[in-house]
Copies of this chain bind each other. A is one copy, B any other.
Amino acid sequence: MADGPTINTIAERAGVSIASVSRVLNGLPTRQETIRKVLAAAEELGYVRNAVARSLKSRRTNQVAFAMADIGNPVYLAMVRQIQPVLKAAGYRLVLHSTDAIAADEIDVLHSLGERYVDGLIMSPLRVTEAHLETLKAARAPVVIIGSVPDGTRVDNVRADSRTGVRLALDHLHALGRRRIALVNGPLDTVPGASRGAAYAEALEELGLPYDDGLVEIGDFYRADGARAVAALLARRPDIDALMCANDLIALGALDVLRAAGRRVPEDVAVVGMDDTELAAASYPSLTSVSLGSAERGKAAVELLLDRLQRGDREPRLVTVPPRLVVRASTSGEEPALPYDLTTNTPGALAGAAPGHQSSAQEGGAG
């Protein structure tokens, strides 16, 4: 861990100036003999270029930040999985921020762009306040926002379309003959909670079904909340025949309670989740879920950012990722055939079912 050599050290050793060292190291036209001497010295000394000094001079850090509400949320992880490889391929490092869904922290991250430790930021804020927009306008580096921002905000923006997503789910349930479709939502003061609630009401109306307050239950976005909400729902309206859940965790809680209550899924009650996380495919019955394209949104965001890092002057763009209904056993009653071929070695259709690699590196112990 000795103090590393600098271009000065190399210059001395090679008997040339630091300017020549820099030139060689950067591939600028130099005499062969000089190149040889410099490279030899660098090699012997184990020289590694100091990224900090270089950044100070070049005003580029080759780092990009991703700020999410919560690193434990599978939705954001799906985004990180897309973002990281693209950044890596483009020569950037990924810096991760978890803001714990605290608005002040999010604004802090935006503000800290002034520290210039990253070249750009991808952010997925829980809500977008006036203060967010203000800070955003003054941001000292390019920003891409994942999530809705007010029309006219001059920023690259990637959106899901949970309204259409809810609509897809309700159409599906309606086509299956379900008529008493309950909604298990998250808090209404979050952007997703609000829009999913509105979309539910709207979809019911278009289907010609009455909106019934008794069919709506609100909790937080966790599995336990989903379980509690569904228990309350069942007590109040024993005749419900379908559950629209605002995310997959809520839906898993719903499955737990339905099983405990002896209700068959989907015969008695059909269940739809949202986000199509890896848990949806793993549960039993496997969970029909509305994919809001987390992976695609992550991909779109990083591409917008890289593009802007190259040409900072273009107009802001808006990308909307369409939702997709992934039908599984919790509504269809049919477990999919094994999603892989048991005889060959082709990874086959499993790509979607397996949550990434699992080359498992942890190791241990006594030998």
- Interface of A toward B, CB cutoff 8 Å: 1, 4, 46-53, 55-56, 61, 63, 68-77, 80-81, 84-85, 88, 93-98, 101, 111-112, 114-117, 124-126, 138-142, 146-148, 159-165, 186, 190-192, 194-195, 198-199, 220-224, 227-228, 231, 246-249, 252-253, 256-257, 259-260, 275, 278-279, 282-285, 292, 294, 297, 312, 320-321, 323, 335, 338-340, 342-343, 345, 347-348, 350, 353-367
Residue among B162, B192, B360 making CB contact with A192, cutoff 8 Å: B360
User: Which of A116, A259, A365: most chain B CB closer than 10 A?
Assistant: A365
Q: Is there an interface contact between B282 and A160, defined as CB atoms closer than 8 Å?
A: no
Within 8 Å by CB of A71, from B47, B84, B125, B252, lies B84
Which of A1, A246, A259, A260 has most chain B Cβ within 10 Å? A1
Contact of A114 among B4, B72, B80, B285 (CB under 8 A): B4
Docked complex Cα distance between A220 and B354 (Å): 12
Residue of B nearest to A69 (CB): B361
Once bound together, how far apart are the Cα atoms of A70 and B361, in whole Å? 9
Given contacts A48-B115, A192-B362, 15 further A-B contacts (CB under 8 A): A52-B116, A52-B117, A53-B56, A72-B81, A72-B357, A75-B361, A93-B95, A101-B359, A124-B362, A126-B361, A164-B365, A223-B340, A227-B342, A228-B343, A279-B279
Q: Chain B residues with Cβ under 8 A from A249's Cβ?
A: 354-355, 358
Inter-chain CA distance A321–B278, complex, in Å, is: 27
In the assembly, what is the distance between CA of A335 and CA of B257, in Å? 12
Chain B residues positioned under 8 Å from A360 (CB to CB): 73, 75, 186, 190, 192, 221, 246-247, 275
Given contacts A221-B359, A260-B338, A163 and B366 within 8 Å (CB-CB): yes
A1, A221, A320, A361: most-surrounded residue (chain B CB, <10 A):
A361
